Structure 1
């Protein structure tokens, strides 16, 4: 259980926040929030008319839920579904990558977005539409290539999504594309046979749900269809841009449908959709020929699109891009954003004459109460929402870009099995937003993308970073050399010290050297396949710092060359780990072994000759005179050579980030030449196999240790190539470790340390 909590702590924190916000929302508005569409669903519970504006999917769900409780019960269930969605997305992400922070990033928008919370409180279909989308993703993104039955299940779930919100029809395209691309089956003739089978199954799943429903629709309406919302959808969009002079002058019906207002004075899409076309008495003068109102609306829309394709496409693109605005605001002639924001008092919408009385009748009938709001809670929720408690538009854009870049094969994604999965999630989110924008823009239509775009972005990023996954028919790859290009994504975190490898290496060391062979000042070097350079480094090592003798402990991290033999012949104490785990694991082993074997002070340096070990007295001096507990060199305060512009930039960026996080001026977070008290080195939690330098630095700062930077020299390696990355992927992992360590040590554990201090004082 402890291991589970440690691994998934970030999700648990977010989940606690999401649960708290949902409880507050449920208590804030009694019994639930009602929007205009809510009354359409409630008014169709008994008749189940398929010809209404909304398809019957949510109506059926609502009818089932209301058999167990009232509107407050429905709201509670919808909040619970929201929490389950977040957990499902987190688990789905971890099927493709071991990076739990990516999974938490995917879950966070669903858990914490105030617009998501508000729509869950509404008697509306959105959260159930999201649930069907996530269900389809789970069916498709299983292990290995999608089988025929999983494809059929996904098709059926997408069909149910169509019957919940008709915009779901746009998802048929990404479904079919994924079934073709998944697993790379299209590269072989045998693969095309599998593609044909699973694609047929996916289509059959769609048809198996939609055909019977359409037949029911036919029995009620006399023609085939899925919803009563047909001609009004495109009519509203085209009415706002229509140039009446380009319509046939001799067609009285089309001229009648063109708005009277000049182009610049046209009203919003919603007005022409619902208040003009939706008015049963419009047009007042009647229709001029035998064409129906729907026929004329569809013909009008086609004429406008053909005559003004650029205007039409520009309008859609403009509305599509609004989804990525940094601030949720009402654009001119758009649906007011206030409809999807928490209000201080219970919100009422115009649903005809005596709206207030109608609201009262409905809530009293189902729950025995009148609509009410707790103004203390609503004030908090509104402040949270307007104060930034929502998914930032540019962040959604970043998710979209990462998903597309991963799908396109950027970097390591070229050989990743995540490309098709990233394309499925990202493409589905973008096509939903584009499909909604073809009608009109509303912030409500962005909500389904919260379960798609973050997932697509996370999968794309995992592919670019080099994820180990068995997704989409690609088996996991576990390279023997963890420093090879295929291995520089995040490696699993370390278990508590000592793990099995630590214990075995320490026991072997004591058997060879005894229990206290080391001097009070020990230099710890982590070495992996450094046979060519380690001898030079050790021969140049000082024998004393002031009056303290220096001993050197080389921790050989599962090397396959002669590093251990050469280090031993050069006079170093050698500890050999049986398996390569990364520099962080080797240094942690060295810290504990040095402290257990007599060291009071520990110095770290690298095995590649980059640091000038003759500067060690300057490094150790603040420890010996008692003015510091931890001393780190700084190449920026001193001098250094570099062969990588990316690393040069990274040193400055991460120093700035560390300064912001700790409120301490830091100039270099990754300088490997350091000195520290041995007891301090062993007291810090270290779990990172590779990106350990910032974890150690932030860890000692969080403990309140006196940290000093001193000017030092950094040279180019004396041999070989650096095992540290120079890529954006390495930088992303380094930033992840910094922020994760800060959250763990400054936020989560600082409170625990304070509690312990109070109890012991």
Structure 2
């Protein structure tokens, strides 16, 4: 059983070594542990720090691509290197390395294919009151959209089985955390949450520049993921108000016509017909979107089988810059 711990990095030279030193070297049930760093176009000496520490594999972008693309590139690299389990953690040492054993245990025991570490948000001192409330609100929205019970959706401390990693797709450029939960929930991928601990903050978060920017992007990500995986339901909800108001106006016009007072109310009839037409068009769009979604599921199934064949080769040299032997700590 091979575990690869991946760490997305963008200018993390100051904190990367701290995070790496905190990672476990042995876990019961794991035969081999390797480390992979995703260099997302860093302009400092992040790569040099990783190589000097003895990181086994480095996946590099020439310029910054964002957290979502870096995450997917890391999964691809880990799968090509033969990982049976993949753990994603942060380069700022936000999560305790000792808790990696807690999030891989449900996968080892066959209880889940994705495990997400739930942070003690209310007890985290460097989280502001507003941020804590927004974290809870965002997690609630993701639970509703994904039909799961994950309490900490924005948490990036996660473990994936090989099969789950091959099934995941992320289409937004912002972050993978919310979309992957919605996808896993809607695709019935077994998922579990375990409580974890966090370390003191080493640097401010770089994921968003303002609280409003974070909220806006998170809402758009959740809505987009929901529409992608449940398009017919989403467009049905959208068309109902148009149809209801349009039909209501039509019934009102028929009532006045039955009592001979329809004169001067033609405008409302036109409005009602327009709203009904819009509602029908939205519903038709939903049917088309649902057909496209069915097509996407077929393509995902094909993609999964292609990946099974491709990653079965365990070729660690494809698209991976630098493959190194792990140095013993203190050597």
Query: What TM-score results when the alignment is normalised by the length of structure 2?
Result: 0.67
Distance 2:297 2:54 in 1: 45
The question of whether the paired residues in 1 share the 8 Å contact of 2:107 and 2:115 is answered with yes
Q: Secondary structure at the match of 2:87?
A: strand
3-state SS of the aligned residue for 1:736?
Answer: helix
> Which whole-Å deviations, capped at 9, do the CAs of 1:443-486 have from their partners, x for residues lacking one?
xxxxxxxxxxxxxxxxxxxxxxxxxxxxxxxxxxxxxxxxxxxx
Match of 1:526 among 1, 5, 8: 8
Q: 1:655 to 1:539 in 2, by over 3 A?
A: same
The answer to whether the 8 A contact 1:591-1:678 is kept is no
Secondary structure of 1:544's counterpart equals coil
Give the unaligned 5+ runs of structure 2: 232-289, 301-331
Of structures 1 and 2, the one scoring higher in RCO (CA 8 A, sep 6+) is 2
CA distance in 1, matches of 2:75, 2:14: 24
Q: Report if the CA contact (8 A) 1:638-1:713 is conserved.
A: no
Deviates more, 1:686-695 or 1:651-660: 686-695
CA shift at 1:755, angstroms?
Answer: 7.3
Structure 2 partner of 1:686: 170
Of 704, 712, 716 in structure 1, the residue corresponding to residue 196 of structure 2 is 712
Residue 738 of structure 1: how far off its partner (Å) = 1.0
Displacement of 1:750 in angstroms is 5.7
Residue in 2 that maps onto 1:551: 34
Residue 594 in structure 1 maps to residue 78 in structure 2: yes
Q: How far apart, CA to CA, are the structure 2 residues paired with 1:742 and 1:546?
A: 38
Q: 1:564 aligns with which of 34, 37, 47?
A: 47
CA distance 1:639–1:714, change in 2 (3 Å): farther
Single out whichever of 521-530 and 659-668 deviates more from structure 2: 659-668
Residue 716 of structure 1: how far off its partner (Å) = 3.5
| Structure-2 separation of matches of 1:652 and 1:525 | 25
Identify unmatched segments of 5+ residues in structure 1.
1-518
Counterpart for residue 328 of structure 2:
none
* Larger gyration radius, structure 1 or structure 2: 1
Number of the residue aligned with 2:157: 673
State the number of aligned residues: 238
Following the alignment from structure 2 to structure 1, what is the Cα–Cα distance between the partners of residues 20 and 122?
23
Which shows bigger deviation, 701-710 or 543-552? 543-552
Query: 2:174 touches 2:217 (CA, 8 Å); kept in 1?
Result: no
Structure 1 partner of 2:129: 645
Which piece of structure 1 moves more, 645-654 or 599-608?
A: 645-654
Q: Deviations over 1:696-720 (max 9, x none)?
A: 11122222111101001123322x3
Whether the 8 Å CA contact 2:8–2:40 is kept in 1: the answer is yes
Whole-Å separation in 1 of the counterparts to 2:230 and 2:120: 26
- The equivalent residue for 1:575 is 59
1:739 match: 223
Partner of 2:286: none
2:206 aligns with 723
TM-score (norm 1): 0.30
Aligned CA RMSD, in angstroms, stands at 2.2
Q: Which of 75, 87, 112 is the aligned partner of 1:628? A: 112
More helix by share: 1
Write the distance in 2 (CA, Å) between the matches of 1:650 and 1:587. Answer: 23
